[in-house]
Structure 1
Amino acid sequence: MVEGGHFLKKLKYISSLLFVAILLTGCSEKETPEDRLQAYISNWNESKFSDMYSTFLNAETKKTFDSDEFVDRQEKLAEDLGFQNLKVTYTKPKEDTEWNEEKPAVFPIQISMDTIAGPIEFEKEMTWKYEKRDDKENWFAEWDPSFILPKLTAKDKIQISTMSAKRGKIFDRNGNPLAVNGTGYEAGIVPGKFTDETKKSELAKLLNTTSEFIDQQLNQSWVQPDYFVPIAPVSKNNQALLEQLIAIPGVTYQETEMREYPYGESAAHLVGYIGKMTAELLEKHKDEDYKETDLIGRQGLERILEERLRGKDGVGIYIKSPEAGATLQKIVETEAVNGENISLTIDAELQKNIFVSMKNEPGASAAVDPQTGETLALVSSPSFNPSEFMLGISGDRYKKLSEDPLKPLFNRFAAAYAPGSSLKPITAAIGLEKGTLKPEQGLSITGKTWQKDSSWGAYRVSRLHPEAPNPLNLKNALIYSDNIYFAQQALAIGKEDFVSGLTQYGFGEEIPFLLNISPSQISNDGKIASEGQLADTSFGQGQMLANILHLATIYEPILTNGIMYKPTLLLDDKTKQVWKEGILSKESADVLKNDLRSVVVDGFAQAANIPDIPLSGKTGTAELKTSAEGRGQENGFFVSYNTNNPSFILAMMIENVEDNGGSGYVAEFAAEVYKSDSKNK
């Protein structure tokens, strides 16, 4: 009896526990409206629109909005408007809130997201109602499109507008425009008047396009017989092409915005140009919001300064009501930020004068302000019209330019050349500072060739003017540009000290400059291996190469008593940035200043001996042998400045001067620059 009673009590106790467990389980399945809201928001933050529609919306909402209107619309808008960083939160109710299934539960919710036009933040109230569905009761949400974007209705459309940023302009130091947003023409067709199909191929050739592209433009859905259909841009300066176009019935043109390069060919290699985006460029800049229709800097400063010049387009997102006359409602708008206007240290008129003076001969020039290091001109000749490339150059035209033996597309001021005798003042400067060169001490040199001794084998130093008077001092050695004199001075300096001296002038290191230009080198490995190589290097031959900008810069210490400035190109850069200092004493500088004036007055640069403009400088000829025995191409140099008003140092190089009088030919060109420059008058 006792054991049986104990068993019954135990069974009763277990049954009670089971009942309580079942009761608790039933209670836990019953969700509160806050539970449902939390689950809904979790799906929303993860953009699970299908789950939101099927699981959480009440019957009335589903009756009003089908799945397309809820799911597809939100997915499309999220893609079109670039929704990112979506964050939905709600204001928690009081802890003791009791939910009445007979009354709606209302929660303030906060919605924020980033879009292509900027961030959006807004707050709404979301209502939940208790409903029975499929034999199951729960809380379900009321919804409308204003939960996607504020004030949006089912009938409204979303409009996206882009406000184009204006590209920054490029000016010279005096405010003259080098690259600006001007105007040009858009050539096109009025279909109703373009009746001669045989003219289509002719038009395509004129505009560097295809008949297929013209058909594609004409077959667009909006085209009407009397509409203007644009085909291709044309420079307003290309009057010859415009006349050919309008000679075709039905072809005309309209004015449009277009990049202009007022100094054209004279500054083309420096300023560069913008051009159409290519697939390769689009991939390269895939994280920078470029579009296929954008223009981008393709060469020169247009490319190097692209980030500063480009600007940022503005974007607006608006609600467009179907009602007639309704105004757009702005949701969010980011204004366009125009590109930065940039001023250069370049003097555009000086740049143009130098280019014109070079008469399309192949060569390069640079002008620097010796007192500041500012670059006043960088010229490559011959050149090209940058507008041709901006508008899309034809294959035939590009082939003609690229195969031109004068290489107008090649940027010569970015290259490095053997400087020839234009290096001799620097050799002298190193010797003066080393103490091995005594300017008044003469050397007795006879004959046209010389070698130190028989250890040099067949190598001999040659000179052009064996008639130079003995004993030969520094002044006469510069006047007669005597290779033997400078070879002997270099030997006296010694290989290591000569290399060290050239290094002090920046040879063998990258030139600190905005543009990518070739560094000047002492030799291929930066060393001088033999006395013969030392001799050659002393007068700018051997393996020595110099960039034209660097060549102008290394003459600065002669005018600054030993300071060489970093060449700058942007007007807002700090001036007088010391690159090298203490490399030439005032005493040595005065000797060289006096002697460089004598080179022009008494030497072989007579074309630069202008009566009213006293010039100082040094010519140079570098021979590039085409064979071991024969005479090869000669490049001529002249580095000069106005003796009384050295506002700039001009370094000029012309290729192939062997049949034009050598470096004197270059001096003649340089003289034209000083004559036309207003600061020298």
Structure 2
Amino acid sequence: MKKHKILVIVAGVLILIAAALLIYRFAILKSPEAVLKQYMACIERQEYDSMYEMLDEESRNQVSKKEFVTRNQNIYEGIGAKNITIRVFKEKEGAVSYRTILDSSAGEIRFPNEMNIHKEDGRYRIAWTDGLIFPQLGSEDTVKVVTLEAERGNIYDRNGKLLAGKGAVASVGLIPGKMSEEPSADLKRMAELLDMSVSDIENKLDAEWVKDDLLVPIKKLKKVNENSSSTVDLENAEVQKQLLEIPGVIIGDEESRVYPLAEDTAHLVGYVQGISAEELESRKDKGYDEYSVIGKSGLEKLYEQRLHGIDGEKIVIYNEDGNEKAVLAETKQKDGEDIHLTINAQLQSALYDTYKEDKSCTVAMNPKTGEVLALVSTPSYDSNDFVVGMSENRWKELNNDKDSPMYNRFKQTWCPGSSLKPIVGAVGITSGKLEADQDMGHSGLSWQKDSSWGGYSVTTLHEYSGAANLKNALIYSDNIYFAKAALQIGADTLAQSLQKAGFGQEIPFAVEMNPSQYTNDGKPMSTEIQLADSGYGQGEILVNPLHLASMYSAFFNEGDMIKPYLETSGKTETWLEDVFSKSAVSQIRSDLIEVIQNENGTGHGAQLSDTLLAGKTGTAEIKTSQDDTSGTELGWFCVYNEKGNKENSLLLVTMVEDVKDRGGSAYVVNKSKKILQKYMPAD
């Protein structure tokens, strides 16, 4: 009984609510202004059916409900209409004048309008035309949202040479109706030349929009460089020549992101590709859509936020001929920022060409300003391959290559060998633990401190006459001298001094570099043997090439290490102060001149007649034990023009893997000489 009463009460309440709504609706339909407001309110609620029910009979005879709903829905939802407000200016018999303000995807839209409203069967109804959507809109007109594409920023070298930016690629297309009578053979040949499968091409030809007389895009290729004689460019030209021999194939230019220096700058500049679903999810409110490209590696990734432009948009009414009739709203596009690097593209390419057959890396820097002039890793890959679409075979080829062309060597740390000796010498003098003219005594080609070292001994390559002092030890690259020097300096002092020189610290540079280390655990050398080996750049010491260049820069800057920078907008700053004493700097600079100028110096092969060079070589052994004969060697050469000033100083730090049985560091010295001859400033 109680349950029955509750049901009766609920039913009564619902009836009262429904009656109230009917009374309210009937009441508002008695006022033209109320009709206008209700109609406009329905737009934001997407109640297009209700809007149609408010039309007069003549309007409903002219446009069906389906046509009305589709037209209004497509326009309002297509432009992202929201926050719709109206202000009534004047109400007169049969019409209401008003102003509409609404937000759209392209910005705010404002317009005055007039709605004709008249009584029909005792109620006010709307005489509808397309002009009620927008006053300029005719029945045959269309409303479209047009994307104003933003340009991605370019990357330039210090002289304005393009390293990454807008260019052209070759777009290979096929007109199905012009294929030969044996299309299967044509498709097979085309697939072979494009490194694709036949099914991939057939899938493109099977798209719904494809017609016999339409050009179907198949694949992008790098544009033929007619001025190049490289094997890769010649092969590309031959492939495109053979493609054009296939009936129906057309090759045209298509705008694209390009990398003019290709392999030369790949590890530095990187590449872009289409945005992934995961990337889009995290960036959908930052001007990206499913068609966006995004930096995947190198500077393209590092500077993505600055390079990426934000598309604009405009909402346009087009007439039936497709001509622009009116622009309702417009948000201008915001192009990406151009990046100007301190890199010298000519030097970058010359270094790459010199070492492209080696596993190597080179840092070129102005040691007085910190400007990084080149960052090269070899072997390399072509960034353009990722833009045009890398084939599965090419991807496997790169990843299976034993020389690891995808591996960025200038970001890594390496055993520095004797290239660290000037740093150890400077540490010894600065700490007061080492006198430059102190004679450590000759010990032949093999030495150990005492019998506690067991079967282990330090070896060196060159015997020499004269004092075993710092100068001769650097000229002849005497491992034994620097082993003794390290023991004299002591583990704690050496560790503290290397920390002061940036070991274990993040390198303050735009591109993330692996930090250098003096031990694997960051603690001082735990044994005398490890300490002795560290003195000549072995043990557990690993150094990043850019960090090594910055340490050498202290010899130019009265003991202060320069902060390296990559953009021309940067400025000269000190990274670490008072790393070495002025007396240490003076001594080391004098000795490093002798390494090049002295006929017995390990770097003498790089001597130039018109430029006073200074530097240091290094041959680092990579082996599991002292008796290991299967290990490899790294060759180093650090060289600079001693008389350089702020405008024309150049320091090169080069590391080459696998120089064993190829001359050790002398291999690097000899290969670097032609670079020095062309690019090292004359005195």
- Please indicate, yes or no, whether the TM-score normalized by the shorter chain is above 0.5: yes
The range that moved more, 420-429 or 278-287, is 278-287
Q: Which amino acid aligns with 1:46?
A: R
1:242 Cα offset (Å): 1.0
Counterparts of residues 185-334 of structure 1 (less than 5 Å): 185-195=170-180, 196-197=182-183, 198-219=185-206, 225=212, 227-237=214-224, 238-283=236-281, 285-322=283-320, 324=321, 327-334=324-331
1:668 Cα offset (Å): 1.3
Counterparts of residues 505-654 of structure 1 (less than 5 Å): 505-530=501-526, 531-573=528-570, 575-602=571-598, 603-626=601-624, 629-631=627-629, 632-645=631-644, 647-654=649-656
Superposed CA deviations along residues 244-272 of structure 1, whole A, max 9, x for unmatched, are 21232332312232333222222121122
Unaligned runs of 5+ in 2: 1-21, 225-235
Q: Which amino acid aligns with 1:676?
A: K
Distance of aligned partners of 1:142 and 1:536 in 2 relative to their CA distance in 1, 3 Å threshold:
farther
Q: Which amino acid aligns with 2:483?
A: A
Q: Which amino acid aligns with 1:596?
A: L
1:413 Cα offset (Å): 0.9
Q: Which amino acid aligns with 1:48?
A: E
Could you say which residue in structure 1 is the equivalent of 2:385?
Answer: 388
1:374 Cα offset (Å): 0.8
Counterparts of residues 421-570 of structure 1 (less than 5 Å): 421-465=418-462, 467-469=463-465, 471-530=467-526, 531-570=528-567
- CA distance, structure 2, for counterparts of residue 565 and residue 630 of structure 1: 39
Distance of aligned partners of 1:162 and 1:92 in 2 relative to their CA distance in 1, 3 Å threshold:
closer
> If the length of structure 1 is used for normalisation, what is the TM-score?
0.86
1:431 Cα offset (Å): 1.4
- CA distance, structure 2, for counterparts of residue 316 and residue 612 of structure 1: 62
> If the length of structure 2 is used for normalisation, what is the TM-score?
0.86
Q: Residue 341 of structure 2: which of 337, 341, 344 is its match? A: 344
1:114 Cα offset (Å): 2.1
Q: Which amino acid aligns with 2:521?
A: D
Superposed CA deviations along residues 106-151 of structure 1, whole A, max 9, x for unmatched, are 3524221121x3332223344554554xxxx655555443343442
Could you say which residue in structure 2 is the equivalent of 1:112?
Answer: 102
Distance of aligned partners of 1:326 and 1:504 in 2 relative to their CA distance in 1, 3 Å threshold:
closer
User: Is the partner of 1:240 in helix, strand or coil?
Assistant: helix
- CA distance, structure 1, for counterparts of residue 24 and residue 152 of structure 2: 66
Distance of aligned partners of 1:111 and 1:127 in 2 relative to their CA distance in 1, 3 Å threshold:
farther
Distance of aligned partners of 1:104 and 1:517 in 2 relative to their CA distance in 1, 3 Å threshold:
same
Q: Which amino acid aligns with 2:383?
A: P
- CA distance, structure 2, for counterparts of residue 378 and residue 161 of structure 1: 42
Superposed CA deviations along residues 86-107 of structure 1, whole A, max 9, x for unmatched, are 33233488xxxxx99xx44735
Unaligned runs of 5+ in 1: 1-24, 94-98
1:214 Cα offset (Å): 2.7
User: Is the partner of 1:339 in helix, strand or coil?
Assistant: coil
Distance of aligned partners of 1:423 and 1:435 in 2 relative to their CA distance in 1, 3 Å threshold:
same
Counterparts of residues 8-27 of structure 1 (less than 5 Å): none
Q: How much identity, in percent, do the aligned residues show?
A: 39
- CA distance, structure 2, for counterparts of residue 78 and residue 655 of structure 1: 64
Q: Which amino acid aligns with 2:219?
A: A
Distance of aligned partners of 1:74 and 1:512 in 2 relative to their CA distance in 1, 3 Å threshold:
farther
Distance of aligned partners of 1:226 and 1:42 in 2 relative to their CA distance in 1, 3 Å threshold:
closer
Could you say which residue in structure 2 is the equivalent of 1:4?
Answer: none
1:369 Cα offset (Å): 0.8
Alpha-carbon contact 1:353-1:677 (below 8 Å) kept: no
Alpha-carbon contact 1:45-1:88 (below 8 Å) kept: no
1:414 Cα offset (Å): 1.3
The answer to whether structure 1 residue 417 and structure 2 residue 418 are counterparts is no
Count of paired positions: 640
- CA distance, structure 2, for counterparts of residue 501 and residue 665 of structure 1: 31
- CA distance, structure 2, for counterparts of residue 588 and residue 304 of structure 1: 38
Alpha-carbon contact 2:263-2:383 (below 8 Å) kept: yes
Distance of aligned partners of 1:374 and 1:26 in 2 relative to their CA distance in 1, 3 Å threshold:
closer
Superposed CA deviations along residues 263-317 of structure 1, whole A, max 9, x for unmatched, are 2222121122233444454445444444444443332222222333332334332
- CA distance, structure 1, for counterparts of residue 385 and residue 354 of structure 2: 23
Superposed CA deviations along residues 434-472 of structure 1, whole A, max 9, x for unmatched, are 11111112112424344444555554433333x244641
User: Is the partner of 2:150 in helix, strand or coil?
Assistant: coil
| Cα RMSD after superposing both structures | 2.9
Alpha-carbon contact 1:606-1:664 (below 8 Å) kept: no
Q: Radius of gyration: which is bigger?
A: 1
- CA distance, structure 1, for counterparts of residue 49 and residue 23 of structure 2: 28
Alpha-carbon contact 1:417-1:547 (below 8 Å) kept: yes
1:503 Cα offset (Å): 1.6
